[in-house]
Structure 1
Amino acid sequence: MTELRTQRLVLRRARAEDLAAMHAVLSDEQAMRYWSNGPHAELAETERWLASMIESPREVSDDFVVTLDGEAIGKMGAWRLPEFGFILRSDQWGRGIASEALRAFLDYMFRERGVDFLVADTDPRNAGALQLLARHGFVETGRATGTWTTHIGVCDSVYLRLDRESWLSAG
């Protein structure tokens, strides 16, 4: 089973016992602000989400739970390749955790899996995510208006891409 290790983190495959910890992430209003749906009100919603993450075939999905000191605090990965996303519980923001997890994930995807590119669709108001992606080499490829209707209303998209060769040549 694939595990990605950094100085502070372990990124590993989701397990059923991650339910309570992932519900803490997915019910966090601040963390879920720019997610494609609102915070999970019911544990059953998180249970369905987690089951789909666990059951998804690796050839189309490469998703990891981010753990710190053994506790699940978020997720980083590609639900459907080549699109990827990430979320961390908001009390973990500002500590470099997302950057550390993203670096490990990108190294794995480009060096070990040999994926040609990854893409992200980010709300233009999500400045933190956009800055994180730019720092790791993602470049904007386009914008669109009214692409998502979520719990915060109609949202726009910034599309970003990182190519394997760009990542490998930078580091």
Structure 2
Amino acid sequence: MTELRADRLTLRRALPGDLAAMHAVLCDEQAMLYWSTGPHADLAETERWLESMISAPAGESDDFVITVNDEVIGKLGAWRLPEIGFILRSDQWGQGYAAEAMRAFLNHIFRSRNVDFLTADVDPRNEAALHLLSNHGFVETGRASATWNTHIGVCDSVYLQLDRNSWLSAN
């Protein structure tokens, strides 16, 4: 099983036993604010979500749970390449975990997979996500209005991209 190690955390493939921990992430109203769906209402919803992550075809997906001291605190990766996504339980924000996980994932994806670029679709109000992506070399490629209708209403999108060569030349 692929594991990515950083100084304080490990990224690993999701397992059925991660259900309760991922439910704690996916029912966290703060963490889910800019997610494409609202907070999960019950464990069954998270179980379906987790099963889709676990069963995603390896050629189309490269997705990980983030663990700190063997505790799952979120996820980061590409459920469907080349689009990256990430979420951390809100009580874990501000500690640098997302940046560590992002760096480990980018090193992995661009050094071991035949991926020329990654993309991200971010709500422009999600300043923390935009800052994280920008700090890792993602550049804005466009914007669009009313692209998502979510639990917080109609949302816009900022599109970003990071090219393999840009990442490798800087790292």
Normalising by the smaller structure, the TM-score range is: over 0.9
1:88 matched to which residue of 2?
88
| Superposition pairs of residues 20-169 of structure 1, within 5 angstroms | 20-169=20-169
1:5 matched to which residue of 2?
5
User: Cα offset for 1:140?
Assistant: 0.0
Report Cα offsets for 1:80-111 as digits up to 9, x if no partner: 10011000000000000000000000000001
Secondary structure class of the residue paired with 2:34: coil
Secondary structure class of the residue paired with 1:128: helix
> Once the two structures are aligned, what percentage of the paired residues are identical?
74
User: Cα offset for 1:113?
Assistant: 1.2
Report Cα offsets for 1:116-143 as digits up to 9, x if no partner: 0000000000000000000000000000
TM-score, length-normalised on structure 2?
0.99
* Number of matched pairs: 171
Structure 1 residue runs of 4 or more that deviate by more than 4 Å after TM superposition: none
Report Cα offsets for 1:31-72 as digits up to 9, x if no partner: 000000000011000000000000111100110000000010
Unaligned runs of 5+ in 1: none
Letter in 2 for 1:112: S
RMSD: 0.5
Q: How far apart are the structure 1 equivalents of 2:77 and 2:132? A: 15
Q: How far apart are the structure 2 equivalents of 1:113 and 1:38? A: 32
